[in-house]
Amino acid sequence: MQAVQYDAYGATPVLVRVPAPDCPPDGVLIAVRATGVCRSDWHAWQGHDPVPLPQVPGHEYAGVIHEVGRQVATRRVGERVTVPFVCGCGRCAYCAAGDAQVCPDQLQPGFTGPGSFAELVAVPAADLNVVPLPDDLDFVTAASLGCRFATSYRALTAHGQVRRGQWVAVHGCGGVGLSAVLIASALGARVVAVDVSEPALRMAAELGAEVVVDGGSDAARRVVEATGGGAHVSLDAFGSTDTAVASVYSLRPRGRHVQVGLLLGDDATPPLPMGVVLAKELEIHGSHGMAARDYPAMLDLVASGTLQPGRLVGSVIGLAEAGPALAAMSRPATTAGVTVVRL
């Protein structure tokens, strides 16, 4: 089959022919129809988040079930499906409780094994991890759900407990941040979007941000001003020391910070102002994707048109262009929105 693969960290990912993966006995093979290009793939490619080499990136995808393992009870060939980027093992207490996103034995196609920049991707524990798609949800839109959109949805609802009329600050307007802007606005929150990129802020405003703030050293102060005393909920949707700290300083008393962007390398231990956390009784949450169990509520909002993830798609490219698109993330973005590969 065709796949995009890199042999070493930072080496150009290229389109090659590789053997098709084996179908896991408890899993499925999915014929990939669309797969998103996410900054987490870029981090892995850069070696910030070590992966086995050579590696096929890609972890947010939608497609059709091509083969079903003999231990799988609930899935069938031909089903249109997507999968969270974290696949639970299906055997531990966390998976049993519906928290596969923190399963200690989790697998992540694109990181722990070959991913979805390929014609076929193997998914383990299919009874737990595979999510059927509504008939009218197209593959390109569905591919944007598995990582960034679902992570933002869970960050705002399960962790942020966002209520209509509350202020939400979103620091960083890449794929996950723009997803948060769209979802928070759709849920009736008032959104302040922060970024250093002019196209990203323009797109944030189009997706419903009421206020946009140029990211810089005084971003938190400007969020506090714009929200009349601070946001109820603030997300670091970028993942850096500066944006994590700014997010905490953006909050009003009893506010909730949700860390959504990955914190890797030099940014792994940001100096959060715990004195402010104490004095304002802030809450600090981490959000690591969303388990398949929680998808139906989100998909209902997509089906009803309340959430329109298709609006996040900035460009659609072919598999041969996926490597260059990943490499382009090393440079500042000149366009906004999510790039999706269509197969």
Which stretch, 6-14, 102-110, 212-220, 315-323, contacts Zn ion (CB under 5 A)? Answer: 102-110
Minimum distance, C-beta of residue 108 to Zn ion, in the bound complex (Å): 10
What DSSP line would sit under 132-185, residue for residue? Answer: EPPTTS-HHHHHTIIIIIHHHHHIIIIIT---TT-EEEEE--SHHHHHHHHHHH
Q: State CA 27 to chain mean position distance.
A: 22
CB environment 132-163: b (16+ within 10 A), e (fewer): bbeeebebbbbbbbbbbbbbbbbbbbebbebe
- If you ran DSSP here, which 8-state letter would residue 253 be given? E
Identify which of 33, 41, 145 has the alpha carbon closest to the alpha carbon of residue 83: 145
Comparing CB distances to Zn ion, the nearer of 84 and 88 is: 88
User: Token pair of 49, please?
Assistant: 């988040």
CA angle 133, 121, 119 (to 5 degrees): 95
The answer to whether 126 contacts Zn ion (rule: CB under 5 A) is: no
Asked if residue 116 lies in contact with residue 61, where contact means CB atoms within 8 angstroms, the answer is: yes
Minimum distance, C-beta of residue 144 to Zn ion, in the bound complex (Å): 10
The answer to whether 325 contacts Zn ion (rule: CB under 5 A) is: no
Q: How many CB atoms lie within 10 A of CB 290?
A: 27
The answer to whether 89 contacts Zn ion (rule: CB under 5 A) is: yes
Which stretch, 76-84, 144-152, 221-229, 315-323, contacts Zn ion (CB under 5 A)? Answer: 144-152
Choose, by CB under 5 A, the member of 147, 169, 192, 292 that binds Zn ion: 147
Choose, by CB under 5 A, the member of 13, 58, 63, 88 that binds Zn ion: 88
Size, binding site for Zn ion by CB under 5 A:
8
The answer to whether 92 contacts Zn ion (rule: CB under 5 A) is: yes
Contact positions with Zn ion (CB under 5 A) in 35-74: 38, 40
Minimum distance, C-beta of residue 113 to Zn ion, in the bound complex (Å): 16
Which stretch, 16-24, 50-58, 90-98, 245-253, contacts Zn ion (CB under 5 A)? Answer: 90-98
Comparing CB distances to Zn ion, the nearer of 45 and 167 is: 45
Choose, by CB under 5 A, the member of 29, 86, 87, 95 that binds Zn ion: 95
d(CA 166, CA 72): 43
The answer to whether 103 contacts Zn ion (rule: CB under 5 A) is: yes
Site for Zn ion, rule CB under 5 A: 38, 40, 88-89, 92, 95, 103, 147
